[in-house]
Structure 1
Amino acid sequence: MNYIYPAVFYPEGDGKYSVIFPDLNDLATYGDNLADAFAMAQEACGQYLFTSLRDGDVLPAPTPLDAVEKDEDAALVNLICVNLDEYARAYNDKAVKKTLSIPAWLNTACENYGINYSKVLQDALIAKIQARS
């Protein structure tokens, strides 16, 4: 499902842009240029909306574009669209079941020590990903 909220883009002196979402508790982000600011705005908006809906919060109605107030004449007001279905697929932390094969002796030893297979595997996979980043 698509959600659309207005954002105010404020140009900074160094070519960067600050971005404020007035409807989302003044959610703020920035970008190194206008294109980066749009990408960062979409990411920040997606994260905010995804988290709010996951927590059971009611989302505010978006302010009409022509009613959005800006503090500076040079500021740009634009709509940011976020497809939360795509966002959820990319960032959802819902558990996914995987089949694991280990030697019987290792299984016995892990059970004796109360080792949580899922936790150990998650930690190892996260470490492996971080090592490649």
Structure 2
Amino acid sequence: MRYVYPCVLTPEKNGGHSVSFPNVPESLTCGDDRDEALAMAEDALAVALGSYMQCREDIPVPDTEAGEQEMVAVPLVVAAKLLSTPPCGSRALRRSVWRDAWA
């Protein structure tokens, strides 16, 4: 199973790229070029999702309709933690939704 989120890459005037995630608005980063920006995006996504887990908030469900957006996979260590996090009352991670969307 993979957790994959669409991101928006925006070219900057200096030749770099900024990265944002529509489903995870707290996750913002940038890089000196496209490849570096995408590598930084994985880290930014991991930090943001880790914050959701620490605050016991619902993990945002990624859009399955990404269109022309780049897709960024959650690092495996974070994905394993997402699956092993116990439910928190009504704010449980619905594993079946994730499996259906990204199996």
Instruction: Tell whether the structures are fold-level matches, with TM greater than 0.5.
Output: yes
Instruction: Report the TM-score, using the length of structure 1 for normalisation.
Output: 0.52
Show structure 1 runs of 4+ deviating over 2 A.
83-89
1:76-106 deviation digits (Å, cap 9, x = unpaired): 62010013526889xxxxxxxxxxxxxxxxx
Which stretch shifts more, 80-89 or 32-41?
80-89
Residue 44 of structure 2 aligns with an amino acid whose one-letter code is A
Please tell me whether the aligned partners of residues 18 and 28 of structure 1 are also in contact (alpha carbons under 8 angstroms).
Answer: yes
Distance in 1 of aligned mates of 2:76 and 2:49: 8
Question: Is structure 2 residue 69 aligned with structure 1 residue 57?
Answer: no
Identify unmatched segments of 5+ residues in structure 1.
Answer: 67-75, 90-133
- Per the alignment, residue 20 of structure 1 pairs with 20
Please tell me whether the aligned partners of residues 8 and 77 of structure 1 are also in contact (alpha carbons under 8 angstroms).
Answer: yes
Distance in 1 of aligned mates of 2:50 and 2:2: 12
Residue from 66, 69, 89 that aligns with 1:77: 69
Give the number of the structure with larger relative contact order, counting CA–CA contacts within 8 Å between residues 6 or more apart. 2
Residue 48 of structure 2 aligns with an amino acid whose one-letter code is Y
CA RMSD in angstroms, aligned pairs only:
2.3
Distance in 2 of aligned mates of 1:54 and 1:2: 21
Distance 1:5 1:87, change over 3 A: closer
Deviation at 1:54, TM superposition (A): 2.5
Residue 80 of structure 1 aligns with an amino acid whose one-letter code is V
Identity %: 32
Choose 1 or 2 for highest CA Rg: 1
Instruction: Report the TM-score, using the length of structure 2 for normalisation.
Output: 0.66
1:65 alignment partner, SS class: coil
Distance 1:37 1:6, change over 3 A: same
Please tell me whether the aligned partners of residues 17 and 37 of structure 2 are also in contact (alpha carbons under 8 angstroms).
Answer: yes
